[in-house]
Amino acid sequence: MDNSLDQLVEAARAGDKTAAVGLIELFYARVYAFLRRLASNEADAADLTQRTFSRVWQALPSFAGRSSVACWIHGIAYHVYVDWRRADHPAESRSNDWWSACPAADAPPDEMAARADLAATLYASVERLEPGLRESVHLHYYQSLTLEETAGAMGVAVSTVKYRLRLALDHLHKKLDAAEGGRMVRRAR
Amino acid sequence: MNTPEQEIEDTLRRAPAPKAPAGLKDRLAAQIQLAPVRAKAPTSAQALHPRSWLGRWWPALAPAAVSLACAMVVTVQQTEIRDLKQTLEALSQGATGQAPVPAQGAVQPAALGGPSETQQQEIARLQDLARRLAGEIAQLEQLRAENEKLRARVAAAAASGLTPEEEAALAEAREKAALARCGNNLKQLGISVKVWALDNDQLLPPDILCMSNEIASPITLICPSDTGRQAAAGWSAYNSANCSYEYLGGSGGRSDEEPDRVLFRCPIHGSIGLADASVQMSVAKKHPEDLVWKDGKLYDKPHDALPEGKAPGAPSQGSSPDPSR
């Protein structure tokens, strides 16, 4: 997988448009999902995705290979989102309920309902986290980047990512406990 | 009741991924703008793989290597300094332990590990030069001692080198010189009387002090042989004690009428000064008979020219001819 990815990057660097299309096929869905979760609507996410790949082609000759390709592209996407949020939509930094439009996973009906309830509460709590914590959760958990890749994409130290994730998990834990207590109270009534 | 943290993480990892809208992939593919290939593009290995550990760590390794090199240099220098100190201590101990000590800075060849032949020749030349200089210094000391002896001998000869005859001749010469200077003083006093008389109707001055304008200096009034008197510092301080000569013209008279009248007389030499400003040397001692008092005035009358008179202070009142005059 890595060798084929390296060959694609090398070919795209050499000017092979087919290889560039191959890179798009590999990463555009992940990049769109990442930006869609952060942005407020699909149109903005699509626009940010286009900006991201435009920067990827510009920065491709200077890609030195010090990080993985996924980390490098996610880093570009993260900075594109930060620039967009600062310049164009400072008030729309919160995304909408994107998870409600996503198809539910296969599970028994009763279990699926409970997990969907938990997941909805959890995802909603994530979107209410502070910006640094929220993006760390997105990159590490949603985009399945490692701690090192998350740190490289955000341009911070690995220890910073660990600290932010710890804070985020503690916050989410408290939110879920509070939400579960509320549901039990409602059931008792 | 509490949601496990692992479940939270699993739920987050299973988060649904929003599907990309249709046509996004095509739009992205249509917007591909690959930059032109650089002339010196890095190789695939260099571009896609992280740099080697040396490339990553050289900023830290370079100062460390420099520090290590400096430490090695310092260590080597310390070792050399310690060796040199030990060598110097050994040499100093060897120099102090050798006997006898070489004279006048001679160098111990063995102590220094054997100087070269050129150094030995230089040492020998310097030693020879030192010996020659020592000999010259001894000669100079001998010459200095002889010079001191000669100086002492010359000083002794100057102190008592004259014979009695020479000393008598010298005293006689000195006496003659004093006599001449005394006569000179009498001559000047006689001229002063003549000058004063010219301004005072040819009358003789009543005393010496009234001739202060005519006499050049009070020193003229002191006979060189009169050691008991001192010349007055000025005419304002003058008195009779500052004059060696007797003034005999105070009784009045005219200077142009009695040329042979004695006006000044030296009681030491016996010389006299006459009214015509002439001086007769040692007359009162050698020919006292030629001095004749007349009417309270003393005249110098040769023995054959004085018909009758008296010579004051003379053994006899008469006068005797002096063949020397």
If you count residue pairs, one on A and one on B, with CB atoms under 8 Å apart, how many are there?
A: 138
> What pLDDT, in 10s, does the model give residues A128-186?
888 889 899 999 999 899 999 999 999 999 999 999 999 999 999 888 888 766 665 55
Chain B nearest CA to A100, separation (Å): 9
Residue B244 tokens, joined: 């060696």
DSSP bridge partners of B298: B293
* Chain B residue numbers touching A10 (CB-CB < 8 A): 44, 47-48
Interface ipTM = 0.79
- Tokens 């939509």 map to which residue? A89
Q: How many Å apart are CA B88 and CA B80, to the nearest integer?
A: 12
Q: Stretch B299-305: mean pLDDT, rounded? A: 73
Residues A81 and A112 placed together within one structural domain of the fold: no
Number of domains observed in the structure of chain A = 2
> What pLDDT, in 10s, does the model give residues B63-82?
999 999 999 999 999 999 99
pLDDT at A112 over 90: no
pLDDT at B322 over 60: no
Residues A3 and A67 placed together within one structural domain of the fold: yes
**Helix A17-38 with A2-13: angle, nearest 10 deg:** 110
Residues A86 and A4 placed together within one structural domain of the fold: yes
Buried b (16+ CB within 10 A) or exposed e, B286-320: ebbbbbbbeeebbbbbbbeebeebbbeebeeeebe
pLDDT of residue B239: 87
Instruction: Please provide residue A106's backbone torsions phi and psi, each rounded to the nearest 5 degrees.
Output: -70, 125
* Chain A residue numbers touching B33 (CB-CB < 8 A): 54, 57-58
Least confident of A131-135, B126-130, B181-185, B300-304: B300-304
Q: Stretch B100-128: mean pLDDT, rounded? A: 69
- Tokens 């220890």 map to which residue? A159
Domain that holds residue A120: 103-189
Which of the listed residues A42, A63, A96 is the one where a domain comes to its end? A96
On whether residue B279 sits in a domain, the answer given is yes
Number of domains observed in the structure of chain B = 1
Least confident of A148-157, B49-58, B276-285: B49-58
pLDDT tier, B310 (very low <50, low <70, confident <90, very high otherwise): very low
**Alpha-carbon torsion (B87, B93, B99, B102), positive or negative:** positive
Cβ of A32 and B31 within 8 Å? no
Q: What are the start-end ranges of the H helices in chain A?
A: 2-13, 17-38, 42-59, 69-87, 109-127, 131-137, 147-154, 158-188
Cβ of B20 and A115 within 8 Å? no
Residue of chain A nearest B53, judged by CA positions: A66
* B210, B196 Cβ separation under 8 angstroms: yes
Q: Which of A53, A165, A177, A185 to mutate to test the interface with B (most CBs of B within 10 A)?
A: A53
**Residue among B13, B28, B49 whose CB faces A28 most closely:** B28
The amino acid occupying position B261 is: R
As a whole number of Å, the CA-based R_g of chain A is: 19
In angstroms, what CA-CA distances link B287 with A105, B291, B324?
A: 181, 8, 10
pLDDT at B313 over 50: no
Cβ of B12 and A180 within 8 Å? no
Residues A173 and A114 placed together within one structural domain of the fold: yes
Domain that holds residue B245: 167-286
Chain A nearest CA to B22, separation (Å): 10
Instruction: Please provide residue B69's backbone torsions phi and psi, each rounded to the nearest 5 degrees.
Output: -65, -40
Q: What are the start-end ranges of the H helices in chain B?
A: 5-13, 24-30, 44-48, 53-97, 117-160, 164-199, 283-286
Q: How many Å apart are CA A125 and CA A94, to the nearest integer?
A: 12
* B245, B266 Cβ separation under 8 angstroms: yes
Residue of chain A nearest B29, judged by CA positions: A21
pLDDT tier, A108 (very low <50, low <70, confident <90, very high otherwise): low
pLDDT of residue B144: 94
- Which positions ≥6 away from B158 have C-beta within 8 Å? none
Cβ of A169 and B8 within 8 Å? yes
Residue A119 tokens, joined: 């997941």
Neighbours of A167 (CB within 10 A): 15
* B272, B264 Cβ separation under 8 angstroms: yes
On whether residue B127 sits in a domain, the answer given is no
Q: Which of B19, B26, B28, B52 to mutate to test the interface with A (most CBs of A within 10 A)?
A: B28
Cβ of B48 and A9 within 8 Å? yes
* Chain A residue numbers touching B43 (CB-CB < 8 A): none
**Residue among A42, A58, A137 whose CB faces B12 most closely:** A137
**Residue among B7, B32, B50 whose CB faces A66 most closely:** B50
Q: Stretch B31-48: mean pLDDT, rounded? A: 61
* Chain A residue numbers touching B57 (CB-CB < 8 A): none
Which of the listed residues A72, A96, A120 is the one where a domain comes to its end? A96
Least confident of A20-34, B4-18, B258-272: B4-18
Residues A77 and A124 placed together within one structural domain of the fold: no
Residues A177 and A111 placed together within one structural domain of the fold: yes
pLDDT of residue B314: 40
Residues of B at the A interface, defined by Cβ within 8 angstroms: 1-3, 5, 7-9, 11-21, 24-25, 27-29, 31-38, 41-42, 44, 46-51
On whether residue B135 sits in a domain, the answer given is no
* B293, B318 Cβ separation under 8 angstroms: no
Residues A144 and A116 placed together within one structural domain of the fold: yes
* B14, A122 Cβ separation under 8 angstroms: no
Q: How many Å apart are CA A125 and CA B272, to the nearest integer?
A: 158
CB-count exposure of residue B130 (10 Å: 0-12, 13-18, 19+): middle
pLDDT at B320 over 50: no
On whether residue B184 sits in a domain, the answer given is yes
On whether residue B19 sits in a domain, the answer given is no
CA dihedral B207, B211, B215, B217 (to 10 degrees): 80
pLDDT of residue A8: 86
Q: How many Å apart are CA B292 and CA B289, to the nearest integer?
A: 7
* Chain A residue numbers touching B32 (CB-CB < 8 A): 17, 20-21, 24, 53, 57
Residues A113 and A129 placed together within one structural domain of the fold: yes
Which comes out higher in pLDDT, residue A182 or B106?
A182
* B211, B196 Cβ separation under 8 angstroms: yes
Residues A30 and A91 placed together within one structural domain of the fold: yes
* Chain A residue numbers touching B51 (CB-CB < 8 A): 66
Residues A17 and A55 placed together within one structural domain of the fold: yes
pLDDT of residue B185: 93
Which of the listed residues A96, A117, A142 is the one where a domain comes to its end? A96
**What is the CA B66 to chain-centroid distance, rounded?**
65
* A168, A136 Cβ separation under 8 angstroms: yes
* A20, A57 Cβ separation under 8 angstroms: yes
Q: Stretch B16-40: mean pLDDT, rounded? A: 79
On whether residue B157 sits in a domain, the answer given is no
Q: Stretch B226-241: mean pLDDT, rounded? A: 88
**Helix A109-127 with A158-188: angle, nearest 10 deg:** 130
Residues A52 and A2 placed together within one structural domain of the fold: yes
pLDDT of residue A89: 64
Residues A129 and A174 placed together within one structural domain of the fold: yes
Question: Please, what is the end-to-end C-alpha distance for chain B in angstroms?
Answer: 177
According to DSSP, residue B280 is labeled E
pLDDT of residue A31: 92
Residue B38 tokens, joined: 């650089």
On whether residue B32 sits in a domain, the answer given is no
Residue closest to B219 by CA, chosen among B188, B191, B193: B188
pLDDT tier, A188 (very low <50, low <70, confident <90, very high otherwise): low
Q: Which of B6, B7, B26, B34 to mutate to test the interface with A (most CBs of A within 10 A)?
A: B34
* Chain B residue numbers touching A57 (CB-CB < 8 A): 32-35
Reported for A104-107, long-range contacts at CB under 8 A and 24+ positions apart, including other chains, are A104/B16, A105/B14, A105/B16
Q: How many Å apart are CA B4 and CA A116, to the nearest integer?
A: 16
On whether residue B300 sits in a domain, the answer given is no
Q: How many Å apart are CA B173 and CA B170, to the nearest integer?
A: 5
- Classify the phi-psi angles of B105: left when phi > 0, otherwise alpha if psi is within -120 to 50, otherwise beta: left
* Chain A residue numbers touching B18 (CB-CB < 8 A): 32-33, 36-37, 42, 45, 98, 101-102
Residue closest to B268 by CA, chosen among B144, B178, B163: B178
> What pLDDT, in 10s, does the model give residues A72-104?
999 999 999 999 888 876 555 556 677 766 655
CATH of the domain at A166: 1.10.10.10
